[in-house]
Chain A
Amino acid sequence: MVSQKITCIILLVLSTVAILACLIADFEAWIVYAVAIFGIPTWVLSLGLLTMAKPKPEDEEERVKEPFTGY
């Protein structure tokens, strides 16, 4: 879980920097497309994995064992 958090922070920082760099400077179109295609989903995914609520430690086993909750 700790490694996931660290990975998410690194990805969030990298994608934010890449997107901001493309907003500030004028790169070639293919570079901007590549940053948008990979950067935007990475930004949302890493931010989401950081902000999502986690189950309490005592409930965690129950959550991962019986996951058919749908919503």
Chain B
Amino acid sequence: MNLMANILINVIIAFLAGSLLLGLHRKVMARVQKRPGPPIVQHLIHSLKFFFKETAIPKTVSRVFYIGIVFILALIWIVGVIVGPVAHDSLLILFGVYAVYKIVEHNSGSSSGSPYGKLSCVRAVLSAATELPLFASIVFVYLITGTMNIGEIIAYQSAHGPLIFSIPLAALMFFMLIITKSPYSPFAITKDKALISGFETEHFGFLRGFMLFSESIAWYVMLWVFLTIFFGPLSAVGYLIGMVAISFITGFINAATPLLSPNHSVMTQITIGAICFFGTVLMIFTGVVA
């Protein structure tokens, strides 16, 4: 297949699947809280609807930055689609994508000129605590498989079995990142409702729609990477089941857990990360992991 056609198809699948999964996530949360909740397609409709909504650029914003940051958000997650589902390339690039995503959160808030955005921007720095377990998780995958290349990790797992069974605590660290990035997460300190919509507060109308477009792709890419590097070679049905299951689980966790304050959020993430890190090191040195 033509490479560009492959990329376009994957971007469209990522957007549609990501939107529906986020819709499912919201539905699960509503049902847990004994509410009917919006239809599953609502997130998708929401994203498309915003493209035609009235948009004005506030006086307080840094104009180029304000629009540019939305562009960068889309750009990095398209890189995520290319490195992941399309090219099966290096995990390190995906780690870089996630690191830039943190910068986007930070700068989106600071470009707005809004006090809510600025506070969210400060919290984005604190929430970088999620990146340490993510990095540790990737390092363990490298130590076991001897490669950072996603294609080779898939090949390793088809010969030796899924990594979830050999380094479950590393998978848990990665899963914590997924919980953190899921909507209404207990660790979502940058989007605390006390900050309205956090760093997105000032991005409304079309620009919000564009952000929702990118975030749907981001959700799909993160789930895809998690399933691929810990559950081995999967068929399309396997990915579908896995993504639905993870959206269901995170929806349940988020519905049942209140948002933590920034200091508690960071401490919890670091504590879980440290336990999983030392647990995995112990498993490697005691020979539990071959």
Residues of chain A whose beta carbon lies under 8 Å from any beta carbon of chain B: 19, 22-23, 26, 29, 32-33, 35-38, 40-42, 44-45, 48-49, 51-55, 60, 63-65, 67-71
Residue in B4, B75, B206 whose CB lies within 8 Å of A48: B206
Q: Which chain B positions have C-beta within 8 A of A60?
A: 56
Known contacts A35-B4, A68-B201, A71-B208, A40 near B71 by CB under 8 Å: no
Given contacts A36-B7, A68-B114, A68-B201, contact A53 B59 (CB under 8 A): no
In the assembled complex, the CB of A7 is this many whole angstroms from the nearest CB of chain B, namely: 11
19 interchain pairs, CB-CB under 8 A: A19-B8, A22-B2, A29-B3, A35-B4, A36-B8, A37-B79, A38-B75, A41-B71, A42-B71, A45-B67, A45-B70, A52-B55, A53-B52, A53-B53, A60-B56, A63-B54, A64-B57, A64-B58, A67-B202
CB distance from A16 to the nearest CB of B (A): 12
B176 within 8 A of A: no
CB-CB under 8 A from B60, the residues of chain A are: 67
What B residues does A26 contact at CB under 8 A?
Answer: 2-3
Q: Is the CB–CB distance between A22 and B74 below 8 Å?
A: no
User: How many Å lie between the Cα of A60 and that of B55 in the bound state?
Assistant: 10
Interface SS, A side: helix
Output the least CB separation between A52 and chain B (Å).
4
Task: Report if B91 contacts A (CB, 8 A).
Answer: no
Q: A41-B75, A45-B74 are in contact. Are A32 and B58 (CB under 8 A)?
A: no
Note all chain A residues with C-beta closer than 8 A to B94: none
Residue B189, interface by CB 8 Å: no
Inter-subunit contact A68/B116 (CB<8 Å): yes
B78 in contact with A54 (CB, 8 Å): no
Q: For residue A49, which residues in chain B have a CB less than 8 angstroms away from its CB?
A: 67, 206
Whether A71 and B204, one on each chain, are in contact in the complex, defined by CB atoms closer than 8 angstroms, is: yes
Chain B contacts of A22 at CB under 8 A?
A: 2-4
Q: Which residue of B lies closest to A49 (CB)?
A: B206
A41-B74, A44-B213, A49-B206 given; name 9 further pairs at CB < 8 Å. A37-B75, A40-B7, A40-B8, A52-B206, A54-B56, A60-B56, A63-B54, A63-B56, A67-B202
A37, A42, A67: the one within 8 Å of B58 (CB) = A67
Contacts A44-B210, A60-B56; is A36 near B204 (CB within 8 Å)?
no
The distance in angstroms between the C-alpha atoms of A68 and B74, with both chains bound, is: 23
Q: How far is the CA of A62 from the CA of B225 in the complex (A)?
A: 45
Shortest distance in angstroms between A17's beta carbon and chain B's nearest beta carbon? 13
Select from chain A the residue with minimum beta-carbon distance to B207: A48
- Contact between B196 and A55, CB atoms less than 8 A apart: no
Instruction: Mark B132-150 against chain A: 1 for CB-CB distance below 8 A, else 0.
Output: 0000000000000000000
Q: How far is the CA of A19 from the CA of B2 in the complex (A)?
A: 12
B55 contacts which chain A residues (CB < 8 A)? 52-54
Report how far A64 CA is from B79 CA in the complex, Å: 33
B59 touches A65 (CB 8 A): yes
Chain B residues with Cβ below 8 Å from A48 are 51, 206-207, 209-210
Minimum C-beta distance from A42 to chain B (A): 7
Q: How far is the CA of A23 from the CA of B213 in the complex (A)?
A: 23
Q: Known: A37-B78, A48-B209, A67-B202. Contact between A55 and B54, CB under 8 A?
A: yes
Q: Are A70 and B197 in contact (CB under 8 A)?
A: yes
In the assembled complex, which residues on chain A have CB atoms less than 8 Å from the CB atom of B213?
Answer: 44
Chain A residues, Cβ within 8 Å of B177:
none
B51's nearest neighbour on chain A, judged by CB, is A48
